Amino acid sequence: MRTVGIMLFACSLAGGAATVQARELREGDKYMCSWGAGTAARAQELKLSGVSLYAARQKIQTIKFNKSWMRMMAMGITEQTYDSRSRLKPEAIRQTFYQDCLRYKVARK
């Protein structure tokens, strides 16, 4: 009985720690995940509509980005999206990317 109590206490501490970690995400991390998710969704849209990777890259080159890291990140996300065999709808890609990105950011802390 004592070990069951200790196990329950340990599990509750672990659950509390996960909750605290989730709160520690900075706004910049959430913004980056949201932006990346939108980029992946747009790339999936282009891919499903038959636009070539070359044309998608050209479109990215014409976009004015707010931060210096965004252009290369957009290129990478677009290339990975085109390399994927996925035929999911863009909204599903957006949600999956966002959730996985947040999970990654929490795990890194």
Mean pLDDT of the region 66-85: 96
- What's residue 106's pLDDT? 93
Q: How far apart are CA 44 and CA 5, in angstroms?
A: 49
Higher pLDDT, 109 or 106: 106
Q: How far apart are CA 106 and CA 40, in angstroms?
A: 20
Q: Is the pTM of this model over 0.85?
A: no
pLDDT confidence band for 20 (50 / 70 / 90):
very low
Mean pLDDT of the region 78-99: 96
pLDDT at residue 86 greater than cutoff 90: yes
pLDDT confidence band for 109 (50 / 70 / 90):
confident
- What's residue 23's pLDDT? 59
Q: How far apart are CA 91 and CA 95, in angstroms?
A: 6
Which residues are CB-contacts of 24 (< 8 A; sequence separation ≥ 6)? 106, 109
DSSP, residue by residue, 84-100: S-----HHHHHHHHHHH
Higher pLDDT, 109 or 63: 63
What are the b/e assignments for 76-89, b being 16+ CB within 10 Å? Answer: ebbeebbeeeeeee
